[in-house]
Amino acid sequence: MFLCQNEGMDVESICPECGAVLPTGQSCQDLFDQMLLWEWEHPPLGEVHHLMVLCYHLQHPHLYSPEGLAYARRLLAQFVAQGLSPTEARQQNRAQVSSANRNWKITGTAVAFGAYDQPMNWTMTAVDIITGGPENYGERVRAWAQSIHQVLSRP
């Protein structure tokens, strides 16, 4: 066995959950934190906050419970396909998600977490948002949401 010549040099890693090729030493969680920081530093970027959070979680489905994942998929369709605002979606889903009526958890646990039936070949990941920089953030996050909706709508 030969020693890898790249030993000690920058090594890319792949997120086991969303398949993103990550910058050295970073995890998708780091990218998520970076996106939140941009939104905080440049408040107009917060306009797509709901889409960013949804996209990130849909590509890391273990963060949801199985029911939470099903709900998130519907929410994405409401935002992307029906063009609902977060307020409109909240109103439309109120009955289903109000904690008084809800007997399921949105977040995943070690034993009950969301997963897809098949591997999802995502066409965009958080890496694409970060490489676009804050100046393209709104546009890229919207494209990210569209791309996830497309992949999830595949028959």
Q: Is 130 in the site for Zn ion (CB under 5 A)?
A: no
Query: How many CB atoms sit inside 10 A of residue 86's CB?
Result: 14
Helix spans in 8-136 (H): 28-41, 49-58, 66-80, 86-97, 126-132
Name the residue nearer to Zn ion (CB basis): 20 or 72. 20
CB of 61 to Zn ion, least distance (A): 11
Please, which residues bridge with residue 14 across strands?
Answer: 21
Binding part of the chain for Zn ion, among 8-16, 35-43, 97-105, 133-141 by CB under 5 A, reads 8-16
Name the residue nearer to Zn ion (CB basis): 29 or 150. 29
Question: What are the angstrom distances between the C-alpha of 64 and each of 34, 81, 92, 105?
Answer: 21, 22, 21, 8
**By CB under 5 A, what part of segment 34-53 binds Zn ion?**
none
Q: Is 28 in the site for Zn ion (CB under 5 A)?
A: yes
CA distance 27 to 21: 10
Binding part of the chain for Zn ion, among 27-35, 81-89, 90-98, 100-108 by CB under 5 A, reads 27-35
CA distance 78 to 67: 17
Q: Is 18 in the site for Zn ion (CB under 5 A)?
A: yes
Provide the binding-site residues for Zn ion, judged by CB under 5 A.
15, 17-18, 20, 28
